[in-house]
Structure 1
Amino acid sequence: MNKLVPRAMYYFHSVDRRNLGISKHFIPSLSKIKYGPVDDSYWLRRLDHKDWLAPNEVLKIFTNIRHPDLLTGAFEKVTTRMDYKPSEALYSLIIDKLAYARRFNEVEDLLKRAKNENCRLSDEFFYRLIKMYGNVANHPEKAIETLRNMPSFHCWPSVKTFNYVLNMLVCTRQYEIVHEIYMSASKLGITVDTCCFNILIKGLCQLNRLDAAFALLHELPKQGLEPNATTYSTLMHSLCKNGRLDEAFEVYKRMENEGIDLDTVTFNVLISGLCRQGRVDEGLNLLKEMKLKGCYPNSGTYEALLCGFLGKKQFVKAKDFMEFMISQGSKPSFSSYKLIIEGLCSEDSLDDAYSVLKQMVEHGFVPRMGTWKKILTCMF
């Protein structure tokens, strides 16, 4: 593994699913569960049924139990039946509901039980669990612990699960732990991919260590990997943020020379960089080039150009561009409407301001008191 570790990583120092007989898509998300007219006691009584309970029937019972207080007791009851052995699908369903109720101590107890009973759990199960710890519980330490403990459940993490943890740490700016987790890849049986390097490059860009980020870019071919549009877009975004727009365009030309497919994100990064420097006309030219290359603008593209006009206080041009933006099926943001109206009022362009106000209401936005004050001041 040491041969696979890029030298640039040292910059961080400073800072087999079991066949269950059911579809893997059977378990609904909690937001889509529809309960019937019966109460929990009805479903709990079903667990006392003397006839054989099919796995799908058990899942249906636990899906319809509403109160998390009853889940653990119901699980104990079903484990005493001779005709049923808890499966990954059941563990996944119960853990989802307990996590939704933020009962993570009970989640831990269930995991210990699954381990003691040698229940086969898949990488997808642990991926969902790690996401719960990261997103719902806001507990990245438990997410890391779960990743490291996967082999003890006879399950090796996929690169997707590994990269999720890596990205979570970069997003929370825990850079020293990023390096530690990356170094554990070989122990976890992980072969790093381009996505993994993209995450590391993003972390270095957040640290404004662009030289180290480019050093990591040069390591990719040595590992038998190729950079993609995300790799370059991340670097370009950091260059633009630091005012190094010419270098960002050099990266753009390099992408073209290497035959990498340009995407909307790539162009949005450059257009935003141009507009931040007041070079809106160049941004409009890049918009045309973008379309010629088969990339379709999105709301972010148009919003960046609109903000460029607003930044230069060209409010009439902003109004005209907003109308073009709407004709292309993209809706301006609330703040853009507000700034255009206030800017037009400051120039005593009441008719234009009223036109924008009308469009704002038609698109479902409600003007606030400050906007009305600007209009009334302009009128009187």
Structure 2
Amino acid sequence: MLYSVTHRHRTRTHIPKSLVISLFRSSSSSSSSSPRSKYHNYYLRKRRKWPHPIYKARWHEKLSQQNAMQALRTQASSSSSVNLLSSLTESFALYNCNPTPNSYHFILKTLIQTSQFHQIHSVLNHLEKNEKFETPESIFIDLIQFYGRKNEFQEAIELFFRIPNFRCDVSVDSLNCLLWVLCRRKEGLQIVPQVLLKSRLINVRLEASSFVILVEALCRFNKPVHAIGLLVDRASFSLILRTLCQQNTLECDHVMGLVEEMKKLGFCFDGTDWGNVIRFLVRRNKGVEALEALNGMKLDGFMPDVISYTMVLDAVISAGEFERADQVFDEMLVSGLVPDIHTYNVYVSGLCKQNKFDDGIKMVSSMEELGCKPNMITYNMLLSAICYRGELGMARDFFKHVRGKGGVMNSEAYEMIISRMVSVGDVSEALDLLKEMVEKGLVPKPSTLDEIVSGLCQNGLVSKGLSLLTEILGKNGKH
């Protein structure tokens, strides 16, 4: 039995069963063919009204929060003595919405800017006990920095360990902020070990950035040895050592003194630790000390690699210890390591500093035989040193030798030997070399052209100098 509804009253009408079945099938086929009619019929029959769309609720809530936030800003700017916590709750209650993390961040920053520090505790208590959202960590970082500026170390520490109560995961960012605050003064630095031990209870671990803050503070107060007190395991030891070696303002004696203290405590260096120490000494131009560190690395059973040998070789050569440089290079070869192009260039530079040009040229030939082809740095370094010593004949022969081997010389190499030829009055050959340079598409510097033209004019070849300029300018225009 079905009920039909009229505009006046309900009447019970008997409908044949066959008609009901046919009507049901037709409605089912139409609803399956049109998704819209399906939901339309569903809500008309079952719900009698359309549900409220979710997106409209979210949009309405967001708009309400924006209006409440605007009302809060208006009240905060109207008077400096207003109770901002009451204003916050009243503003959001007026628009029937919940306070947001940004609203709390706003009133905390306003309290700091207007020096209403006495209200901060009540705001934090209300945030902790009455709100349910996850509080952003940036709020606490700002407050810790504020306490640091006021030198209120205890307040900063208590807030840091209270952060989990605000439904916030503590990260190393908050820890680093607190360390930065404590390390600004000596009395704060003394509290750091206790803070680090207690921070483990809230699952916060030191990272490389944390050690940078601590080591810089210890070095600033001339107490780098106190960094040993931060050591808790092998990884901490390596991290502190690497951080120390990366400091450019730290005295070499401080680092090496700390290294000795670490050794006395029984910490063993690995290959990476020795590499960090060697890099530090090389940057400080401590060639002999770097060589001693390399020997210490070998005594501990670690084989130095090509990079370590090259760094020490460069430092020893810079220190003028050429005999030791030869020993380092020979030791590298005996140990079975194959020098790369950078290692050869460093060694050749040492030969040039000793004016051993013949040995340098032989070394270039040896490089070619060993499969390490010299590059432009190698050629220019040798050629520059030879020209500087005034050995024009040797420079000319070396230049020809390189070109005969198929080596490509750049404009710098051409200009070096051209300048030397002009200085000794060999303008004609310099001119030929300049033409060869231009034919290869290399553009000479204006100073090189000035030298050649000046030499031609001094020899009474003004017209030749003018034609040279015209020819070079024309070819450069084509390029």
Instruction: Name the CA shift for 1:305/1:158 in 2 (closer, same or farther; >3 Å).
Output: farther
Counterpart amino acid of 1:71?
Answer: P
Structure ranking higher on relative contact order (CA contacts 8 Å, 6+ apart): 1
In structure 2, the residue matched to 1:48 is: 194
The CA deviation at 1:36 is: 7.6
Give the drift of 1:91. Answer: 0.9
Aligned-partner Cα distance in 2 for 1:57–1:273: 53
Mapping 1:200-279, distance limit 5 Å: 200-277=347-424
Q: Tell me which residue corresponds to 1:86.
A: 236
Distance of aligned partners of 1:225 and 1:132 in 2 relative to their CA distance in 1, 3 Å threshold? closer
- The answer to whether the aligner puts 1:164 opposite 2:311 as a matched pair is yes
The question of whether the paired residues in 2 share the 8 Å contact of 1:157 and 1:190 is answered with no
Query: Contact 1:166/1:182 (CA < 8 Å) preserved in 2?
Result: yes
Q: Going by fraction, where is helix more abundant, 1 or 2?
A: 2
Which of 161, 166, 183 is the aligned partner of 2:330? 183
Deviations 1:14-37 (A, max 9, x none): xxxxxxxxxxxxxxxxxxxxx889
Q: Distance in 2 between matches of 1:154 and 1:186?
A: 18
**1:191 partner SS:** coil
| Paired position in structure 1 for 2:251 | 102
**Offset of residue 195 of structure 1:** 3.5
2:210 is matched with which residue: 58, 74, 90?
58
State the Cα deviation string for residues 274-310 of structure 1 (Å, max 9, x = none): 343356787688667656646577xxx5567768899
CA contact (8 A) 2:348 2:363 kept: yes
Cα drift, residue 145 of structure 1: 0.7
- Please name the residue that 2:140 is paired with: none
Instruction: Give the Cα–Cα distance (whole angstroms) in 2 for the partners of residues 252 and 60 of structure 1.
Output: 51
SS in structure 1 at match of 2:395: helix
TM-score, length basis structure 2: 0.46
C-alpha separation in 1, matches of 2:254 and 2:212: 24
Moved more, 110-119 or 278-287: 278-287
Q: Distance in 2 between matches of 1:91 and 1:206?
A: 34
Please show how residues 289-368 of structure 1 align to structure 2 within 5 Å.
Answer: 290=437, 293=440
Instruction: Report if aligned partners of 2:215, 2:224 keep a CA contact under 8 Å in 1.
Output: no
Shift of the 196–247 alpha-carbon distance from structure 1 to 2, 3 Å rule, reads: same
Which of 259, 280, 300 is 1:129 aligned to?
A: 280
Q: Aligned partners of 1:150 and 1:266: how far apart in 2? A: 40
Task: Name the SS of the counterpart of 1:118 in structure 2.
Answer: coil
* Structure 2: 5+ residue stretches without partners: 1-179, 459-464, 470-479
- Separation in 2, partners of 1:189, 1:277: 46
Q: Which has the larger radius of gyration?
A: 2
Amino acid at match of 1:207: Q
Contact 2:183 2:214 in 1 (8 A): no
The CA distance in 2 between the partners of 1:187 and 1:62, in whole Å, is 43
2:229 to 77, 88, 97: 77
Kindly indicate whether the alpha-carbon contact (under 8 Å) linking 1:237 and 1:269 is maintained by their aligned counterparts in 2.
yes
Q: Closer, same or farther in 2 for the Cα pair 1:109/1:101, shift >3 Å?
A: closer
Instruction: Confirm or deny: 8 A CA contact 1:275 1:305 kept in the other structure.
Output: no
**Structure 1 residues 214 and 271: CA distance shift in structure 2, 3 A:** same
Residues 278/107 of structure 1: CA separation in 2 closer, same or farther (3 Å cut): same
Alpha carbons 2:245, 2:276 under 8 Å: kept? no
Q: Secondary structure at the match of 1:125?
A: helix
In the TM superposition, what whole-angstrom CA distance separates every residue of 1:86-125 from its partner, at most 9, and x where no partner exists? Answer: 243321222444x734251552432562693234342641
- State the distance in 2 between where 1:311 and 1:109 align: 62
CA distance in 1, matches of 2:344, 2:323: 16
- Residue 67 of structure 1 aligns with which residue? 220
Paired residue type of 1:160: I
Q: Distance in 1 between matches of 2:209 and 2:190?
A: 12
> What is the letter of the counterpart of residue 51 of structure 1?
S
Instruction: Give the letter aligned to residue 78 of structure 1.
Output: L
What residue in structure 2 maps to residue 117 of structure 1? Answer: 267
How many angstroms apart in 1 are the aligned matches of 2:319 and 2:457?
Answer: 36
Question: What's the CA shift for 1:132?
Answer: 3.7
Specify the SS of the correspondent of 2:327.
helix
**CA distance, structure 2, for counterparts of residue 270 and residue 94 of structure 1:** 46
Q: Secondary structure at the match of 2:308?
A: helix
TM-score for the superposition, normalised by structure 1: 0.56
> Unmatched 5+ residue regions in structure 1?
1-34, 322-380
Secondary structure, in 3 states, of the residue corresponding to 2:314?
helix
Q: Distance in 1 between matches of 2:181 and 2:409?
A: 49
TM-align CA RMSD: 4.2
* 2:386 and 2:394 in contact (8 A); partners too: yes
- For 2:214, the aligned partner's letter is F
Alignment check: 8 A CA contact 2:282 2:290 kept: yes
Identity %: 18
